[in-house]
Amino acid sequence: MGRYVIRRLLQMIPVFIGSTFLIFFMVYALGDPVAALFGEKAPDPATAAQIRHDLYLDHSLGAQYLHYMKNIFVGDFGTAFNGEPVLTLMGDAFPITIRLTIVAIIFEIIIGILLGVITGMRRGKPVDTGVLLLTLVVISVPTFVTGYVLQYVFGVELKWTSPSVSPSAPFNELILPGLVLALVSLAYVTRLTRTSIAENTRADYVRTAVAKGLPRHRVIIRHLLRNSLIPVVTFIGTDIGALMGGAIVTERIFNIHGVGYQLYQGILRNNAPTVVGFVTILVLVFLLANLLVDLLYAVLDPRIRYA
């Protein structure tokens, strides 16, 4: 197990280098950040050259990349063009997005799995059909629609929660945005759990559990659910990365100054250090989440052993 983890961590190094270089290359090679800094006006050549020199932009792309990576390892993600260090931006944005992601994941786990079990046990019944239809609607309607609708209904009309989130973004204000963020994944978790449960209800070991005279709840939770959750866990695990990076729409709707917001601003302003810095961290989150899922796999299914 320990050796497996070390091997996986080592495998992350080339993936990390490759993906960061790709991001770096795209952001720096496809636009002129100095020109973007001046907006519509033509920059003074001398000033532009000075800025280029200060930002290490007068070197070759490879040299720039090495310079950037070297700085990352001492904790210097560069400076955003508004003068703030990118690290400070991250320090502000990531805690907020992590809280948002936690709320979303909790929704996925509790509501998604619960609905999945209920529908899986009652296939073809009205509950099942109703929930299935609902998940289909949720999956097909884009997040910005459901987001604005829920914001309007619960925030503006019913006033159950504030329609926009304050800068400190406490958990209680993140419940509605978290639900909006989770909604599509929640629908997938429901469907995945349902299929998995439906498949396993006919399994021989479930029949054995019934024949042993176990109470129904024990058969379902201990025998059926335990086996059915394996694919669901995989999905939720990989979803962590997606939720953290993909909250751009949700964060815009509810005015949350998290990772999605910063990324959006960075892209809009062609702010290379911000974009590359944030994406680099997201790549790491993805890689670690994947490792976590693989390890969790072995915990849930003893037939899987890593050497």
**Interacting residues with other proteins (CB under 8 A):** 202-205, 207-215, 218, 222-223, 226-227, 300-303
**Could you give the angle at which helices 226-245 and 259-268 cross, rounded to 10 degrees?**
40
Which DSSP symbol is given to 110? Answer: I
Provide the sign of the torsion angle of the four alpha carbons 237, 241, 242, 246, taken in this order.
positive
Nearer to other proteins (CB atom), residue 53 or residue 212: 212
Nearer to other proteins (CB atom), residue 232 or residue 247: 232
Residue 194 beta carbon to other proteins: minimum distance, rounded to whole angstroms:
19
CB count, 10 Å around CB of 226?
13
Residue 122 beta carbon to other proteins: minimum distance, rounded to whole angstroms:
12
Residue type, 82: N
Nearer to other proteins (CB atom), residue 159 or residue 305: 305
What are the residue ranges of helices labelled H in the chain? Answer: 2-29, 33-38, 45-54, 61-73, 86-107, 113-121, 126-140, 143-150, 175-201, 204-211, 216-218, 226-245, 248-253, 259-268, 272-300
Q: Annotate 235-259 with three-state secondary structure.
A: HHHHHHHHHHHCCHHHHHHCCCCCH
Nearer to other proteins (CB atom), residue 30 or residue 299: 299
Residue 294 beta carbon to other proteins: minimum distance, rounded to whole angstroms:
17
Residue 129 beta carbon to other proteins: minimum distance, rounded to whole angstroms:
17
Nearer to other proteins (CB atom), residue 43 or residue 231: 231
Nearer to other proteins (CB atom), residue 150 or residue 219: 219
Residue 300 beta carbon to other proteins: minimum distance, rounded to whole angstroms:
7
Residue 108 beta carbon to other proteins: minimum distance, rounded to whole angstroms:
22
Nearer to other proteins (CB atom), residue 159 or residue 202: 202
Residue 292 beta carbon to other proteins: minimum distance, rounded to whole angstroms:
19
Answer whether 145's CB lies under 8 Å from 250's CB: no
Which DSSP symbol is given to 269? Answer: T
Which DSSP symbol is given to 141? Answer: S
Provide the sign of the torsion angle of the four alpha carbons 33, 34, 37, 40, taken in this order.
negative
d(Cα 298, Cα 301) in Å, to the nearest integer? 5
